[in-house]
């Protein structure tokens, strides 16, 4: 019996370490892996997330362009060099077109969208999205943004001046209100506390429990979720809501673009119509409803938590820097004065300091702290003699790059002037990438910035933002979050009505 146990242990050891010489054979520096887990045990135990991993490896190997890592037996390469990043995300995109997530869009209908799919499906969807966020489309959709900012200001005004407001909760309500209006074509009034349940259900896709995150990290090693499903799946309540509301909106519009000029109208034009010619038969409507619902779901996941994080960080930083807040507010007042004190597309486009402040927020706290890719064919890393095989994962440490003093002087300081037109030209390409880069860059980046700036402009035009006794100068990020970074504690702030507006 003892001999059998020893044999089993030896077999397990050999099997779970069979690939642990991968980086040594290629002369790539790496930490020593352990059986079964590789280097991934701290992630599984929630002692760090992938953003923390990127920071640790980036700072530990400051003289290396690439650093080796093992997720169990799967080799992963952490990229420190912007030139190599440029090749992987852009020039040699076809070798790294997959995101490297253990998600199956074929099993999850709502994941059958631009972010999660690959290959020909991705190219088809990219063509559909390409015309959705032009300047003409953004200007047309701006009245919907204004309605959301009006609700945001009204909601904030209703609070007593001495009440602290959880800024992150406030801004998630605003971003969801905007997404529902512009993406879903409906009004769900998520800024109202009575409807925050909808936000909570939507957030469940990102805000996982510790057990769920443990399972997700373990799945990267042994694909355990194929045996024990239920972790990745979209919340069933939210799944049903998105599909039902999509069907309802499509039916109300008779499967034709309306005058609302929202994202659903764009999808209707691209999926159902070519000019005045109908592309879809009645028999295809059910499957196409799922397709539209999946794209609407992407609109949600791409803009919900990410915009809420960015705007919350701006308000948090301005609360501790009243001089900068005064300068930003002065610019906002000046721009609005040109347009009869009414928020409009043209006014927001003139708010250059606010734009720089938002960009600095995205640098200091990128909503997604890393980019993941999977190598899909043999590839030689530029400037080296190192070749990697299909299946090797790639991690690009966005936050680490953004906090490297080689690229940003005193990187922990909040300095919007880094993104003045003159200074921004000196930032190396493929270092600052809040929306990704290359063909898989976020197509809705300009819309996300526009709605974030509109919300910030409305709040700062009406309120002075200050810390409360419960505000921490350094907020915490949840390690159990999935794909994006979620702020713990909500960032409590005072929003005091202006007396000299």
- Residues annotated in the binding site for heme, as ranges? 442
Q: Report how far residue 69's alpha carbon sits from residue 89's, in angstroms, rounded to the nearest whole number.
A: 20
Q: Distance between CA atoms of 316 and 314, rounded to whole angstroms?
A: 5
pLDDT of residue 55: 97
pLDDT at residue 164 in the model:
92
> For position 272, what pLDDT does the model report?
72
Q: Within 13 Å of residue 144, how many CA atoms lie on the same side as its CB?
A: 27
Q: Which of 455, 411, 413 is nearest to 321 (CA)?
A: 413
Query: Given this model, what pLDDT does residue 234 score?
Result: 62
Instruction: Give the CATH number, domain containing residue 16.
Output: 1.10.630.10
User: What is the total count of domains within the chain?
Assistant: 1
pTM here is 0.91
Taking the CA atoms of 108, 109, 114 and 119 in sequence, report the sign of the dihedral they define. positive
- Domain extent at residue 271: 2-497
Q: Is residue 496 helix, strand or coil?
A: strand
Q: What angle do CA 431, 432, 437 make, to 5 degrees?
A: 85
* Residue 282 burial class via C-beta count within 10 angstroms: exposed 0-12, middle 13-18, buried 19 and up: exposed
Query: Binding site, residues?
Result: 442
SS3 28: coil
Q: Which of 477, 457, 461, 441 is CA-nearest to residue 129?
A: 441
What phi, psi does 46 have (nearest 5°)?
60, 30
Per-block mean pLDDT, blocks of 10 residues, the chain (501 long): 84 89 97 96 95 97 97 97 97 94 69 86 84 90 94 88 87 88 71 58 80 88 68 67 84 84 85 61 61 85 86 98 98 97 97 98 94 96 96 97 97 97 94 94 92 98 96 90 85 91 63
Cα dihedral 160, 164, 167, 169 sign: negative
The pLDDT of residue 191 is: 47
The reported pLDDT for the residue numbered 286 is 56
Q: With beta carbons less than 8 A apart as the criterion, state whether 312 and 168 touch.
A: yes
Q: SS3 of 464, please? A: strand
Q: What is the DSSP string of 36-85?
A: TTBT-HHHHTTS--HHHHHHHHHHHTTT-SEEEEEETTEEEEEE--HHHH
User: Can you give the pLDDT at residue 280?
Assistant: 55
Instruction: Say what the pLDDT of residue 229 is.
Output: 56
Query: How far is Cα 316 from Cα 179, in angstroms, rounded to an integer?
Result: 23
């Amino acid at each position: 019996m003892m001999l059998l146990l020893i044999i089993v242990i030896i077999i397990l050891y050999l099997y779970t370490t069979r690939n642990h010489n991968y980086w040594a054979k290629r002369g790539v520096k790496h930490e020593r892996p352990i059986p079964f887990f590789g280097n991934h045990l701290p992630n599984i135990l929630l002692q760090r997330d992938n953003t923390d991993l990127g920071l640790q490896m980036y700072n530990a190997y400051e003289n290396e362009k690439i650093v080796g890592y093992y997720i169990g037996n799967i080799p992963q390469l952490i990229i420190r060099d912007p030139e190599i990043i440029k090749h992987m995300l852009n020039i040699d995109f076809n070798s790294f077109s997959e995101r490297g997530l253990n998600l199956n869009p074929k099993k999850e209908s709502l994941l059958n969208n631009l972010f999660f799919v690959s290959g020909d499906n991705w190219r088809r969807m990219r063509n559909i999205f390409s015309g959705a966020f032009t300047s003409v489309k953004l200007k047309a959709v701006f009245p919907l943004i204004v309605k959301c900012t009006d609700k945001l200001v009204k909601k904030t005004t209703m609070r007593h001046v001495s009440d602290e407001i959880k800024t992150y909760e406030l801004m998630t309500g605003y971003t969801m209100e905007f997404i529902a209006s512009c993406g879903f074509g409906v009004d769900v009034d998520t800024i109202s506390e009575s409807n925050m349940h909808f936000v909570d259900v939507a957030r469940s896709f990102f805000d996982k429990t510790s057990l769920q995150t443990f399972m997700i990290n373990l799945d990267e090693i042994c694909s355990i979720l194929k045996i024990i499903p239920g972790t990745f799946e979209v919340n069933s309540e939210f799944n049903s809501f998105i599909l039902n509301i999509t069907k309802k909106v499509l039916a109300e519009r008779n499967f034709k673009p309306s005058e609302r000029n929202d994202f659903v109208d764009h999808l209707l034009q691209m999926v159902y119509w070519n000019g005045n010619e109908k592309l879809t038969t009645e028999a295809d409507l059910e499957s196409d409803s799922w397709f539209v619902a999946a794209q609407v779901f992407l609109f949600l996941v791409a803009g919900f938590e990410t915009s809420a994080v960015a705007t919350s960080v701006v308000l948090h930083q301005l609360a501790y820097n009243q001089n900068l807040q005064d300068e930003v507010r002065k610019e906002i007042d000046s721009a609005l004065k040109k347009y009869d004190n009414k928020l409009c597309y043209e006014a927001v486009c003139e708010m250059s300091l606010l734009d720089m402040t938002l960009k600095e927020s995205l640098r200091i706290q990128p909503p997604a702290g890393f980019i993941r890719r999977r190598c899909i064919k043999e590839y030689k890393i530029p400037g080296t003699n190192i070749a990697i095989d299909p299946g090797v994962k790639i991690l690009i440490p966005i936050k680490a790059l953004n906090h490297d003093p080689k690229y940003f002087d005193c990187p922990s300081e909040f300095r919007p002037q880094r993104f003045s037109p003159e200074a921004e030209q000196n930032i190396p390409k493929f270092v600052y990438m809040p929306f990704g880069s290359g063909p898989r860059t976020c197509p809705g980046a300009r819309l996300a910035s526009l709605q974030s700036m509109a919300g910030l402009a409305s709040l700062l035009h009406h309120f002075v933002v200050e810390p409360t006794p419960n505000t921490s100068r350094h907020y915490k990020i949840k390690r159990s979050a999935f794909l994006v970074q979620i702020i713990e504690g909500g960032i409590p702030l005072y929003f005091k009505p202006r007396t000299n507006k």
